[in-house]
Amino acid sequence: MSDFSRSPLELLLENLAKGYIGLHIEQGVPILDRDLNLLQDLLAADMRQLFSRYIGNGLASDAGDGFGIQALPAGQDKNDFRITGPGSCLAGGIEARIAAATSYRQQPFGGPAPELTAPTEAQPDPRTDIVYLQVFLAEVDGLGDVSLGNSEDVGMQTSVRLKPEWTVRVAEGVPVPGPEPGHIHYPLAQLRRRRGEDSITAGTFVLAGTTLERISDLRQRRLTLSHLETRLSLLERVLIAPTFAQDRPLRPLTGQVHQQITLAGNNFDKGSIEVFFDDIQAPVAATLSSSEIVVLVPGGLTPDGTGRSVRITVANEVASAVCEKLFGVRAGPVFASPPDPQFSPASGMAGTEVLLSGFNFNATGLTVLFGGKKGNVVGEPANTSLKVQVPDGLAANSLVKIKVQTSQGEAESTDDFRVGPPPPVITSFTPPSAAVGDPVILHGQNFDVPPVRVFFTVEGFDPVRAGLANPATADQITVETPELIFGAEPQRQARITVSTGAGSAVSAGLITVSQA
């Protein structure tokens, strides 16, 4: 018999309840058996909790087929069943081992097993029983292992050993009971028996049109982490990883920048889908279903202005798929898409230099047309931009489209270019405050397109026109501060508007106007 100053199990449970995970022994004090026992038990308990929480309960991939529940041959199956072995099972962080197959009645530990009963008329039909494994740590002393008697030196028992033991029990028609302290319960199988059946048999039976298994295995298998990772990876690839369809994965097989391309496959709606044409990411325009997405051909695939073939890749957080069919990228010119401007400035007179933005402007055979009239290309065009002068002969104040033609195709702007003088721009004014009648100088651009008018506007009131002190120049206007509606106010704050034959502009800042 073991002799402790305190029960190791009771002391362990008490310390775990307080949140302790270890202990340190102080110097110059007696070493107590309970402290040393607790040190080992806390470490072991922590490890078991980690195994249970992060690995789980069940059979490792190489653990054999231990603790399976099977039917015994006819004539031996009355309220009894077979427990398979050899093998092992992890339950609550403790690995229980079975050396060889046995039966419920002949299991080696725990003494005689409680007798099983056949379902009665008062019980459900069928009755569902749960076979469960009870695992615990048993103490082995000198009676169980004579070497613990230390006969070769001190001649007395100084310690005991802990050994995993197990029993298989059955919860007949009731839930699996809660385990006693220090014990673990793990469900192994589910038994279904009809009323009056005292034999435990394999196979199925039909009840109300439903086929039911007589013995259902509840064990978790392949618990080894490497197998879990392999299975998870396989599951991810089946359920989440994108794949291309074998038949018509791309529609169409060729296209140019900004054109919509439909991709066909599977799992195109799982995770954060990204699409690449070679190494350039393409915008996903729409997810039609898990099997179809629409993408736009990205720019930058044809930097030299000639077509090429690329591979399309669809990827998410789990995996990526590369289409076996090549996609042909045509190098036709295209204008930039919103929010980028197609050209700048948006208006101008003959000779104004306009910068076009887009792709494939450097292909051979370049021609730029403003409303059908050819513009003069300035300098060498780049793939993504080119400069061109507004041609003569366009109607003043007309709106025209800009068309780019090359040997690879043509593109027409969706935005309109306004022919004529550009609208005014106010950059600043001085002084920031003035009295009625004082001069105010406006600075900016495009002020000299007649008719030129200047207004001071106070919020909530109609604009008041200001008189021009001098004729407007392209970058400056001098006006006299007009008389505003002051009422009881000694000052008013107003915005300044410049209106010309090409448009109007409003000052960003406010001017303070005082009564004369």
DSSP string over 370-435 = ETTEEPEEESPPPSSEEEEEPPS-PPTT-EE-EEEEETTEEEE-SSPEEESSPPPEEEEEE-SEEE
State residue 180's pLDDT score: 93
Is the pLDDT at 228 greater than 90? The verdict is no
Kindly state the average pLDDT of the residues 212-238: 71
Which residue's structure tokens are 């292909």? 363
Is a pLDDT exceeding 70 seen at residue 236?
Answer: no
Residue 64 DSSP code:
B
- Separation in Å, CA 70 to CA 73, 183, 203, 471: 10, 24, 10, 108
Instruction: Give the pLDDT band of residue 460 (cuts 50, 70, 90).
Output: very high
Encode pLDDT of 280-289 as tens digits: 999 999 998 9
CA atoms within 13 A on the CB side of 173: 15
**CATH class of the domain comprising 243-329:** mainly beta
* 245-272 mean pLDDT: 95
Token digits of residue 24:
């340190």
- Give every CB contact of residue 17 below 8 A, 6+ residues apart in sequence: none
What integer pLDDT is reported at residue 238 of this predicted model?
Answer: 61
Helices (H) and strands (E) in the chain, counts: 3, 44
Q: Once rounded to an integer, what is the mean pLDDT over residues 373-378?
A: 97
Domain locations in the chain as residue ranges: 8-54, 69-225, 243-329, 334-419, 425-514
- For tokens 């021609």, the residue is 367
Q: Is the pLDDT of residue 229 over 80?
A: no
Residue (of 358, 359, 393, 363) closest to 376 by Cα position: 393
DSSP letters spanning 9-33 = HHHHHHHHHTT-----PPTTSPPPH
- Cβ partners under 8 Å of residue 435, min gap 6: 481, 513, 514, 515, 516
Q: Using alpha carbons only, give the angle 374, 379, 384 rounded to the nearest 5 degrees.
A: 85
pLDDT digits over 183-214, tens only? 999 999 999 999 999 999 999 999 888 899 99
CATH of domain 334-419: 2.60.40.10
Under the phi-then-psi rule, with left for phi > 0, alpha for psi from -120 to 50, and beta for the rest, what region is 485? beta
> Which of 66-80, 220-234, 262-276 bottoms out in mean pLDDT, i.e. has the lowest?
220-234
Closest CA to 161 of 8, 45, 302, 356: 8
pLDDT of residue 433: 97
What's residue 423's pLDDT?
83
pLDDT at residue number 105:
94
Split at pLDDT 50, 70, 90, the class of 72 is very high
DSSP 164-224: EEEEEEEEESSPPPPPPTTEEEEEEEEEEE-TT--B---SEEEETTEEEESEEE------S
What is the Cα–Cα distance from 227 to 60, expressed in whole angstroms? 9
Q: Is the confidence at residue 224, as pLDDT, over 60?
A: no
Q: Where are the beta strands (DSSP E) in 195-325?
A: 204-207, 210-213, 215-217, 243-244, 250-251, 254-255, 260-266, 274-277, 280-282, 284-289, 292-296, 308-310, 312-315, 320-322
pLDDT at 232 over 70: no
| pLDDT above 80 (res 62) | no
- Summarize the confidence of residues 329-354 as an average pLDDT: 93
Least confident residue range of 223-227, 292-296, 370-374, 419-423 = 223-227
Q: Report which residue type is found at 60.
A: A
Cα separation, 488 vs 477, whole angstroms: 31
Residue 349 has pLDDT above 90, yes or no: no
Mean pLDDT of 391-419: 94
CATH fold, domain 425-514, is Immunoglobulin-like (2.60.40)
Half-sphere exposure (CA, 13 Å, Cβ side) for 505?
21
Region 161-190: mean pLDDT is 94
Which of these ranges, 299-303, 349-353, 360-364, has the smallest mean pLDDT?
349-353
Phi first, then psi, for residue 468 (nearest 5°) are: -80, 125
Phi and psi at 39, nearest 5°, equal -55, -50
Q: Do domains 243-329 and 425-514 have the same CATH topology?
A: yes
More confident residue, 58 or 174: 174
Question: Comparing 15-19, 44-48, 102-106, 214-218, which segment has the lowest mean pLDDT?
Answer: 44-48
Q: What's the whole-number average pLDDT of the chain?
A: 91
Region 240-251: what's the mean pLDDT? 93
Residue 478 DSSP SS3: strand
- Residue 386 confidence class, pLDDT cut points 50, 70, 90: very high
Place of tokens 């199925």: 204
Looking at residue 357, its pLDDT comes to: 97
